[in-house]
Structure 1
Amino acid sequence: MLDLLLISVVVLGIGGVLYSYALYPFVLFVVAAMAQAKRDAAFVFKKQDRRKTRAQAQDLPHVAIVISAFNEERHIVERIDNILGLDYPADKLHAYIGSDGSKDRTAELMARFDDPRLHALPFVENRGKANVLNDLVSRVQAPIVVFSDANTFFATDALRRLVEDFEDPKVGAVTGELRLNGSGGDNQDSLYWRIEQFLKFFEARLGGLLGANGAIYAIRRELWMPLEPDTICDDFCVAMNVAAAGYRVVYEPRAWANEDTPEHIGEEYRRRVRIGIGNFQALIRHPEYLLKTSAATAFAYLSHKVLRWIAPHLLIAALLASAILALDSWAWALFTALQILSYAAAAAALAATNRGV
């Protein structure tokens, strides 16, 4: 009985990780293809026009871009110029940028701009991004709020593309596409980012898009829910709050922005650790992301997010169970050794990468 339980731990642990990373993309592709085929068949019989038309200036909604900046003197001037130069009616665009107690010249550089569209708020105290976002959004009157970062730069027509999907009253949030610029040809996110874009595209087609890209996404102002002050993954929570409220979160790849990747993998490692903590925070704090969202969103959430978040725990449990089984079986001893070797190889690869190999 004990052996059966231990074997189940190994199979479920390793199987869950393999499913999330290797099998899920194929399952998602098939399910999304079936859903698309159903919509195509309905289109053929209903004869409705599905093509989007570019909105005219008089039809565009008022938009507010919200950015929390901390020690961004390197980017803030170029970022503000980027916003003010967007192809969007000047009387319908406002930007709310808050310096979150920056220790450099961010606040000073923001103050140099004299444009009625820019609302520069030099907060003296460092309160954290969630608090700054709560403060900034509370000042917004526009029906559409666009969130971004100080080191991100929008394509000229990004806003127009982003707001088009809000013509559908069922759409509550729209996330654009972030294009990463590698530094010195060492783009740490390249393969990962392509896989994530693949998953995002088909999850959106299925109606189960998860969260948003913090660099470029928008929501209806009426759906904003103030964030807990210690929220780490704010973009994920903001978009999932919209999904939990019964609205669709859609992906608009034509609305894109550029951002540089970290120059060193150490920076990316620290960022991922912080995001990992934020993931567990969201998992524990917001059960409604699983219980009150659509079936498609719940399916994607479990497969793409939750299983990945707990993958290390599943692998550790599988290793421990294998080690116990190895006490009485050479086959399990070999399997346990293979697991240990795989982790040792990963550690060696990381060490080599840190040395610049």
Structure 2
Amino acid sequence: MKIIDYLFIYAIFSIWMLLLINVILSFSSYIYFRKRKKNNIDLEEFDKSIDELPFVSILIPAHNEEKVIGKTLESLFNLNYPNDRYEVIVTNDNSQDNTASILNEFKNRYKNNLFKIVTTNKENGGKGKSNALNIAYQESKGEYIAVYDADNTPEKNALKYLVYGIINNKDLGAIIGKFRTINKKKNILTRFINIETLSFQWLAQAGRWQLVKLCTIPGTNFIIRRDILEKIGGWDPDALAEDTEISFQIYKLGYRIAFMPEAVTWEQEPENLNVWFKQRTRWVKGNIYVLFKNIKLLISEFNTKIIFDMFYFLMVYIFFLSSVILSDFIFVFLLFSNFEIGLQGNITVLWIMAYILFVFEVSIVLTMEKGENTFENFLYVLISYFTYSQLWIIVSIKGIISYIIDYISDSEKKWYKTERF
């Protein structure tokens, strides 16, 4: 066999391995979806069953958020949760725009001790989301800590659903909700992002929870026990993907993280490719940091949650990514050379089957979300494989290279805050 044959076998094996894992996750997520429909949560009964709801501190990191922070605060102050049982703490993180004046307007409107503004400067602020969250956390007093991004508008019952989930199960270190794209109809990019975020949440979150009782904290709409944050010392200031990093800390303590799709928040997504590339590159760099920081845990600790997540990360960022690059290279190389793959079989059938599996997996997800199982979205799924999904290859390569350069040069970790519209 020629070396190109071995490279091709590796590429096909890795690609199909991840595809088959996602097929299993898609079926698992559908089982979870059906279970949730059969076992509706009755919040009225929940209210009757508890003498007093726990006190919750809601943390919001805000750096130059004048375009969105007002709407976020409006939604938080109108939550279906007793006004004296939660506080909102905003870190005005070295903002250079009109964020401060908007926050002060709300402070004057809601004259109580349950809305706090913590302002940072160049010395102690502007260092990223982890730092902003740690500052707000030090000012908090809640038994539970909830986090929302500054562009989020949670639905009225979002917090109560999160609280319902975590106080009824002592094995849970955190509960995550679902986030939806508020600007999904803005353009083609936001429609792709909408489908992507739904796929991630139902496949990677609901699917993994049903299969191995495992979820990863997203950047927003989650609640965590205060004593856990105290044990791990808050958020890692070096982590660009602070949500993924803190998930591993929770796993190491022996706790689980559950998915609560009833707790919904609406958030703004990038509306142009420049902002999208910057945001996603930060995600890749952050996840690579978490991968290498925790890879030793594969040997030192026999924890099924950590092993599964580490394996999944390795599949996505190492094996799958290298396989896609290799397969694309082989395809182009064969077009402009006389080489032939010596393997027997119809290669075209493999590509077609992979494409069908991709469409099948995402289509299952769309059936689980009200208003998303449309012919228009199905068409977007068909073309996303050849367009939007391919952009992730470029982002992943860029993120990995950037991480390596920063690691070699020992550069300071720079946080990119997603621009708002």
Give the CA deviation at 1:27: 2.3
3-state SS in 2 of match to 1:59: coil
Change (3 A) 1:230 1:195: same
**Does 2:222 align with 1:217?**
yes
- CA-atom RMSD, angstroms? 3.5
The verdict on how the C-alpha distance between 1:198 and 1:79 changes in structure 2, with shifts beyond 3 A counting, is: closer
Change (3 A) 1:300 1:236: closer
Aligned residue identity for 1:119? K
Q: Secondary structure at the match of 1:189?
A: helix
* Structure 1 unpaired stretches of 5+: 40-48, 340-344, 351-357
TM-score (normalizing by structure 1): 0.79
Q: Is 1:108 aligned to 2:101, yes or no?
A: yes
Q: Report whether the alignment pairs 1:90 with 2:83.
A: yes
Paired with 1:81 and 1:154, the residues of 2 have a C-alpha distance of 10
Partner of residue 204 from structure 1, selected from 204, 209, 213: 209
TM-aligned CA deviation for residue 151 of structure 1 = 0.3
CA distance in 2, matches of 1:234, 1:92: 27
1:162, distance to aligned residue in structure 2 (A): 0.6
More deviation in 261-270 or 291-300?
291-300
How many Å apart are 1:299 and its aligned residue? 2.4
CA contact (8 A) 2:2 2:342 kept: no
1:271-314 C-alpha deviation (Å, 9 max, x unpaired): 111111111111011236656474255325423x3311223333
SS in 2 for 1:210: coil
CA distance in 2, matches of 1:196, 1:229: 25
Q: Which residue of 1 aligns with 2:140?
A: 140
For 2:12 and 2:119, the matched residues in 1 are separated by 49
Amino acid at match of 2:119: P
Residue equivalent to 2:23: 26
CA distance in 2, matches of 1:218, 1:312: 32
- Structure 2 residue aligned with 1:184: 186
Letter in 2 for 1:122: T
Is contact 2:29-2:202 (8 Å) kept? Answer: no
Which residue of the partner structure matches residue 12 of structure 1?
A: 10
**Does the 8 A contact of 1:176 with 1:255 survive in 2?**
yes
1:289 and 1:131, CA in 2 relative to 1: closer, same or farther beyond 3 A? farther
Deviation, 1:269, is 2.0
* Matching residue of 2:340: 330
Which residue is equivalent to 2:170?
Answer: 169
Q: 1:221-258, CA deviations, whole angstroms, 9 ceiling, x for partnerless residues?
A: 11112233221011122223212211110000000001
Deviates more, 1:60-69 or 1:24-33: 24-33
Q: How many residues align?
A: 328
- Offset, 1:104: 0.4
Report the TM-score when normalising by structure 2: 0.68
Shift of 1:315: 3.3
Contact 1:32 1:202 in 2 (8 A): yes
Q: Partner of 1:193 in structure 2?
A: 197
For 1:168, the aligned partner's letter is N
- What residue number does 1:118 align with? 115
For the 8 Å contact 1:237–1:282, the answer to whether it is kept is: yes
SS of the aligned residue for 2:118 comes to strand
Question: Within 2, Cα distance between the matches of 1:94 and 1:24?
Answer: 41
Contact 2:80–2:157 (Cα < 8 Å) also in 1:
yes
Which structure 2 residue ranges, 5 or more long, are not aligned?
A: 352-385, 392-421
Alignment pair present for 1:275 and 2:275: no
Give the deviation of 1:109 after TM superposition. Answer: 1.7
The farther-off stretch of 55-64 and 287-296 is 287-296
Give how far 1:136 is off. Answer: 1.5
